[in-house]
Amino acid sequence: MTTTPSRRPARPASLPPRGLPGLDPAWSRLVPSPDADGRVRTWHVLDTAPDAGADGPGVRGTLLCVHGNPTWSYLWRDLVARGAAAGWRVVAVDQLEMGYSERTGVRRGLAHRVRDLGALVETLGLTGDVVAVGHDWGGVIATGWAAAEDAHARARAGAPAGRHRAVERPRRLAGLVVMNTAAAHPAEDPAPGPLRLATLPGVLPLVTSRTDAFLRTTLALTHPPLAADVRAAYRAPYRGAADRAGVEDFVADVPVGPAHASRPAIDEVAAGAERLGRSGLPALVLWGPRDPVFGEEYLRDWRRRLPGADVHRFEGAGHLLPEDADVAGAVLRWLDTRLGSPAAPPAEEEATAPEGSPHVPLWTRLDERADSAEEAVVEMGPDGVARRVPWSLLHRRTQEIAAGLLEFGVEPGQRVSLLVPPGADLTAAVYAVVRIGAVGVLADAGLGLRGLTRAVRGAGVDVVIGVSRALVGARVLGWPGRRVAAGPVADEVLRLTGTRVTLADLAALGARRLAEGVALPPAPEPSAEAVVLFTSGSTGPAKGVVYTHRQLSELAAAMGATIRIGPGQGLVSAFAPFALFGPALGATCVVPAMDVTRPATLTASALAAAVAASGSTSAFLSPAALVNVLATADALDDADRAALARVQVLLSAGAPVPDALLQRARTLMPLADPRSPYGATEVLPATDVSLDEVLAAGAGEGICVGRPVEGAVVAIAPLDADGHAGEQLVLDADVTGEVVVGASHVKDHYDQLWLTQADSVAVRAPAGAAPRRWHRTGDVGHLDAQGRVWIEGRLAHVVVTGTEVVTPVGVEQRAESVPGIARAALVGVGPRPARQLAVVAEASEPVARTSVADPELAEAVRTATGRDLVAVLLVPALPTDVRHNSKIDRVRVAAWAGRALAGERVPPLVPGRAGGRRR
């Protein structure tokens, strides 16, 4: 690569002006260094330890930070400050033609810039561990440098490049951190999104150098907007058109098409990234998904090239990630974990727990029943007619779809989103997907369209298998992935959504291949990813939870033991995970007639029909479904009642289940001792309790959820005076803290949420506890002297006043015991030392608009709760989750109450539900 001569004006390097927010002038230095062509150019770099060799005492290594376009080293100011404080030498460069580095008058292509950086590293004499950090096109250049560095080191060591762990890691390159950047650029894709316009002839100089439109646009991409002084600091080195020539050149260097001059260079970076991925180099990919330039497809590409990389998506953050998210904190924590902290031994993040039982693949029982004519799935139609699918058919269809998916090009490790309601189709598709080693993504429609879109996009789905409605959603909302139709879909929908294949087509295709003697591949490794389940999203954006094949089998076993169901038994449920576990347990799944996305549509008659048609004696209902069953019990005839009277096992879970609800359920199902297991998407189930046990436990602080299920341990991370839960776990009774569950069926990890995962397993096991996988639930509660677990609320909803830490559920239960109060939420009002408690409640007689409870009611609530509540506000409705209509969003209530009680005129707490009688 040669440089293109240019008549652009040259300008020497300079130091940034003083007083830029967050930038310490002591970090800045000018470094003369030969460039790729051997000519000495002057760089401006931020360097926290110019005199200390990286091997010097107290220096852990060097973070080599490379900005993109059109930013400068200012982007890294937070990492520079905190990295230095954590013992790192941080070197953040201004690339030549950019920031305060020299304007040389030379156009620099990608290959040139990679070699410029390499030459600078030699001039700086960096030794010891070096971690390359890059953002935007700086990520490409940093990766290019890292790949070249790796290749040189291997050449010196005499080993062939790219051999998997063939040689020890080269001494200097210790890690790679990239964010919102590209490892590769497909030749057919002209330029990432908005850059396309900028690369049109004539437009480019206009938007990039002659005006500062490109600069302004990029700086406007933050969430929230940048402070004016920070924005000014980013623009400081790019005041005049001549200062911005590098900005123009950078955009012009985006490799448009196969003939672009930088095409070979970007292809080399892409290949280099892949070699680094194979070498086992510690790598971290940080991502802001709200990036109009580098979309999720670039993140997927990074994950393919660096399969061992730790990935964290900062939901809600965008392109200028270091401005939107705590990048410095993430990088430093990752360095401590992956490269070892000087203070502590490397964190045992992925606890190696002795796995319970030998691995039994999920489909073992299905395979055993390949010739059975007994029912595997019973789907109840709205007309009361049952569709019965025998094991033999379910098995055959699973095999056929599996073969069809392979034929369709689905590869092991690829992700297949299943947007199909519970029933035989879902069960067959899930088993086919996991059987061939692909990863099933199960997101519940209860997330709502926005939540679902975020989940499907974020999970990086390769294929969507969906019913008609889901396909339309996929098309309209731009979900990624090839589409496969499930169930009846009109031709019109197929055409409009670009769907060319149905599940039936895949099965037919697979059947032909199987008939030709094609065999399914060997079963996936037990440690391979099997499914991604999504959390409810009631406590922030829904998170993907990854289970491996081994954990999935453990989970199925734990579920079977908890709900007491095994081979030959039937379970009535509309709970999607049962599509997964029913066949694994050899049990019959019975799906009642209802809109499964809305649990409250299950009627008593539909439940009775499902029980009668299948002869099942077990039912699993969400609390919302159970409420509706009881509300519609009047429509039952004698036969229905007789059917329900045969139910022996009644389970309700997914949200707190009031005792009174289970007691009323027992009037319909007198044989059943209703049970209410407690758990979370990350650990389903954790504890189990029956109604009789709850009644025997009596009143206490919170909700009694019983004892840990077989093989699980529940420990407590005590709350400190600030309401924070530490890492040390205890098993002591009557200590309130975060509830932490240890079990072999705990999730493997959160999907692309490295920091969240690290947080969720950051524990020090209680004294005497056997090593196991732990999960911090985010719930607070305590153990009692009998070993029962009591849930007192969510950690995020704990109220810390000047004098105490108050958990919400106990106070709310006592408030709800007051006649006139239907449902209550405890909130804190005011700044911390003076913070006061208040209750926001739904009244038994619904109010039409926000009101202050009259003094008698307020006093009754104060007396019942034993708290000096500054206010009891009555509202038409409290905000709850979509899925259960029972998890109150207390963070939102607290923010709203804070404004209302400050005297602000506030909109209704739940939009659209005030001012009327709609409830």
Partner 1 sequence: MRVLVTGASGMLGRETARAFARRGDAVRVLQRRPSGLEGTEEVLGSITDPDAVRAAVAGVDTVVHLAAKVSITGPHAEFVAVNVDGTRTLLAQARAAGVRRFVMVSSPSVAHAGSALVGAGTTPADPGAAHGSYAVTKGQAELLALAADAPGFAVVAVRPHIVIGPGDTQLVQRIADRARAGRLPLLDAGTALIDTTYVDNAVDAMLAAADRADVAHGQAFVVTNGEPRTVAEVFARICAAAGVPAPTRRVPAAAAKVAGSVVERVWTWGRLPDEPPMTRFLAEQLSTAHWFDQRRTREVLRWAPRVPLDEGFRRLAGGFGR
> At its nearest, how many Å lie between partner 1 and the CB of residue 901?
5
Q: How many residues bind partner 1 (CB under 8 A)?
A: 28
Q: Cβ distance 454 to 271 under 8 Å?
A: no
> At its nearest, how many Å lie between partner 1 and the CB of residue 869?
9
Burial of 795 (0-12, 13-18, 19+ CB in 10 A): buried
Residue whose CB is less far from partner 1, 60 or 867: 867
> At its nearest, how many Å lie between partner 1 and the CB of residue 856?
9
Q: Which of residues 769-828 bind partner 1 (CB under 8 A)?
A: 802
Residue whose CB is less far from partner 1, 631 or 902: 902
> At its nearest, how many Å lie between partner 1 and the CB of residue 832?
8
Binding segment for partner 1 (CB under 8 A), chosen from 265-273, 458-466, 651-659, 899-907, is: 899-907
> At its nearest, how many Å lie between partner 1 and the CB of residue 918?
20
Residue whose CB is less far from partner 1, 204 or 826: 826
Establish if 202 lies at the interface with partner 1 (CB under 8 A): no
> At its nearest, how many Å lie between partner 1 and the CB of residue 139?
44
Binding segment for partner 1 (CB under 8 A), chosen from 138-146, 585-593, 701-709, 900-908, is: 900-908
Residues present in the chain in total: 919
Binding segment for partner 1 (CB under 8 A), chosen from 114-122, 139-147, 479-487, 894-902, is: 894-902
Phi-psi region of 235 (alpha: psi -120 to 50; beta: other; left: phi over 0): alpha
- Determine the Cα–Cα distance for residues 848 and 563; give it in Å rounded to an integer: 42
Residue whose CB is less far from partner 1, 698 or 903: 903
> At its nearest, how many Å lie between partner 1 and the CB of residue 224?
22
Write each residue from 452 to 481 as x if it is in contact with partner 1 (CB under 8 A), else as -, in one continuous string.
------------------------------
Its sign, for the CA torsion 862, 867, 870, 871, is: negative
Using N-to-C axis directions, what is the helix angle for 623-631 and 604-614, rounded to 10°?
100
Supply 169's token pair.
Answer: 């890691």
Burial of 523 (0-12, 13-18, 19+ CB in 10 A): middle
> Which is nearest to 398 in space by CA: 447, 445, 431, 364?
431
Locus of tokens 């004696």 = 617
Question: For residue 17, what is the DSSP state?
Answer: P
> Which is nearest to 550 in space by CA: 587, 575, 523?
523
Please report, as a single letter, which amino acid is at residue 330. A
Residue whose CB is less far from partner 1, 164 or 905: 905
Question: For residue 708, what is the DSSP state?
Answer: E
- Contacting residue, 904, 907, 916, 918, with partner 1 by CB under 8 A: 904
Supply 415's token pair.
Answer: 């992700």
Q: Which of residues 717-736 bind partner 1 (CB under 8 A)?
A: none
> At its nearest, how many Å lie between partner 1 and the CB of residue 620?
42
> At its nearest, how many Å lie between partner 1 and the CB of residue 97?
49
> At its nearest, how many Å lie between partner 1 and the CB of residue 845?
16
Strands 649-652 and 678-680: unpaired
Residue whose CB is less far from partner 1, 410 or 826: 826
Residue whose CB is less far from partner 1, 488 or 855: 855
- Determine the Cα–Cα distance for residues 16 and 5; give it in Å rounded to an integer: 28
Strands 529-534 and 439-442: parallel
- Determine the Cα–Cα distance for residues 189 and 256; give it in Å rounded to an integer: 7
> At its nearest, how many Å lie between partner 1 and the CB of residue 870?
5
Q: Which of residues 826-885 bind partner 1 (CB under 8 A)?
A: 829-831, 833-836, 849-855, 858-859, 868, 870-871, 873
Binding segment for partner 1 (CB under 8 A), chosen from 11-19, 36-44, 108-116, 901-909, is: 901-909
Write each residue from 221 to 250 as x if it is in contact with partner 1 (CB under 8 A), else as -, in one continuous string.
------------------------------
Burial of 619 (0-12, 13-18, 19+ CB in 10 A): buried
Residue 798 exposure: Cα atoms within 13 Å on the Cβ side = 25
Residue whose CB is less far from partner 1, 493 or 870: 870
Burial of 114 (0-12, 13-18, 19+ CB in 10 A): buried
Binding segment for partner 1 (CB under 8 A), chosen from 62-70, 207-215, 754-762, 902-910, is: 902-910
Q: Which residues of 481-506 are buried (b: 16+ CB within 10 A; e: fewer)?
A: bbbbbbbebeeebbeebebebbbbeb
Phi and psi angles of residue 35, each rounded to the nearest 5 degrees, phi first: -95, -165
Residue whose CB is less far from partner 1, 258 or 855: 855
Which parts of this chain interact with partner 1 (CB under 8 A)? 802, 829-831, 833-836, 849-855, 858-859, 868, 870-871, 873, 898, 900-905
